[in-house]
Chains A and B, each alone.
Chain A
Amino acid sequence: MNHPTEEQLILYHYGEVEGRDLIASHLQGCESCRTSYQALQRVLEAVNSMPVPQRSESYGAEVWRQVSGQIVKATAPRRLDFWQLFQWPRWSVAGALALLVLIAFLAGRFWPQRDSTTEPLIAKSTQPISRQARERVLLKEIGDHLERSQLALIELINSKTNGVVDISLEQSLARQLVDVNRLYRQSALRLGDAGMASVLEDLERTLIEISNSPSQLSSTEFAEIRRRIDTDDTLFKVKVVGSQVRAKERETARELAAKRS
């Protein structure tokens, strides 16, 4: 096998990697990977030295003393009864209904269209795969991509701002995401889903901007990037479309399971 990446070595350490045996035998035969893995192990062992103050056996009783007063005030937990919905304040019912309408509107707008003349991103397999199964794989991939992008933007926004902000890690991630994003955007355009393509285009612009920024930003430059992400509502749009894609993926999975059974 090729040399495992740093990510694979980390996942290997935590027992979460696929092809564990392959990596284990590679590490036996490859000195440079073994050295790198041993260095990683030393770091993670050092992390275990982080001390945690001890708590005595009576700590639980102390916690109870502190929380019991508030628990007594609270009513005993009850299951929410359907009819209780009608006891909600009117504004919250109206808000929930408005949200449902909004979701329905966006769902109709952003769902991938089923167009038999266009090809999705997934390569054709030698085995016949149903259109629905291919759609599900595509949805899963897009959902993962949107989730990764969303997280990358959240992490960037939350970066520490002590004068200079180092965004080198976020940048390397943004560069990886840009290429994948471009493929999905083109795929969405081919499928005729202008809404999805538009959100992916906004996202791509943001990712490119992050990729091309200097890796050390002054607090003013950083504030500007953050402001643009906020102004364009990129994060919000990615979140909304991401949830829709996930919901559609679940629906497709259910349909596929129903067909199989």
Chain B
Amino acid sequence: MMEESDAALVTRAREGDQDAFRLLVERHSVRLFQLAFRMTSNEQDAEDLVQETFLRAYKQLSRFQSRAGLGTWLYRIAANCSLDLLRRQKRRGDQERAVEFDSEEAFPAILSGAPAPDQQVYHGEVRQKVESAMRELTPMERTAFVLRHFEGQSIEEIGSALGVGPGATKQSIFRAVQKMRRALEPLVNAIP
């Protein structure tokens, strides 16, 4: 049986069909979680963001225009929720708590399959550095960078999601990469 399109489900959901909205939640949750985790580096925060995104999306369904694509629209809402959360955390100065999940626990298969202990140590170190460099980014830099680097969104899409122009979007991405480079280059280039 053919899967019902996002647009058709949105139409039904707008008419109050909660089952249609349930299908949308089930379809998009995993990818939204990945995005949210990359934004926050914290599983609990990421899960909260996914829920908040769907609640906001439900309330704003009437504003959704199908030409944008539901995935893009949900990403836009999630990016804004993340931006708000990161700014709140920054104000509270509690970003240090951001990395709480244990890589080894979450990736037993990958780690057990690692070929050599020294490589394992190196990869662990790189991951730690990446996480710590990501935490050094400002909320805007981090959001723009994640949307560009991991989600492959265009400068135009990111700017439109974050409510800034292409110049400012490029600048945020550029500064994010500069910071990542500053943090990671010594380690990455140390390996022949």
**A residues at B contact (CB < 8 Å):** 6-7, 10-11, 14, 16, 39-40, 42-44, 46-47, 49-55, 57, 59-61, 63-64, 66-68, 70-72, 74, 76-80, 143-144, 147-148, 150-151, 154-155, 158-161, 169, 173
Contacts and interface: CB of A to CB of B under 8 A. Distances in A.
B127 A64 contact: no
A74 B58 contact: yes
19 contacts: A6-B174, A11-B174, A42-B188, A43-B180, A46-B126, A54-B106, A59-B29, A60-B29, A64-B29, A67-B55, A71-B18, A71-B21, A74-B58, A144-B168, A147-B164, A147-B167, A151-B171, A155-B140, A158-B87
B138 A159 contact: yes
B147 to A, nearest CB: 11
Contacts of B6: none
A215 to B, nearest CB: 14
B149 A47 contact: yes
Given A10-B174, A39-B185, A155-B138, A67 B127 contact: no
A50 B138 contact: no
B27 A60 contact: yes
A47 B117 CA distance: 21
Given A6-B178, A14-B148, A77 B14 contact: yes
B80 to A, nearest CB: 15
Given A72-B18, A77-B58, A42 B189 contact: yes
A47 B180 contact: yes
Contacts of B58: 67, 71, 74, 77
A40 B178 CA distance: 9
Contact of B38 (A44, A52, A61, A79): A52
Contacts of A60: 25-30
Contacts of A78: 62
B131 interface: yes
Contact of B139 (A14, A46, A158): A158
B97 interface: no
Contacts of A57: 30
Contact of B184 (A7, A43, A72, A169): A43
A7 B110 CA distance: 34
Given A16-B170, A151-B164, A155-B140, A77 B103 contact: no
Given A40-B181, A42-B188, A147-B164, A7 B90 contact: no
B130 A52 contact: no
B43 interface: yes
Contacts of A76: 15-16
Contact of A44 (B51, B149, B164): B149
Contact of B59 (A59, A64, A77, A158): A77
Contact of A51 (B18, B22, B93, B106): B106
A7 B172 CA distance: 11
Contacts of B90: 158, 160
Contact of B170 (A11, A54, A155): A11
B69 interface: no
A172 B55 CA distance: 41
Contacts of B173: 10, 14
A67 B170 contact: no
Contact of B168 (A61, A68, A148, A161): A148
Nearest to A246: B165
Contacts of A54: 106
B156 to A, nearest CB: 9
Contacts of B175: 155, 169, 173
A148 B171 contact: yes
A106 to B, nearest CB: 20
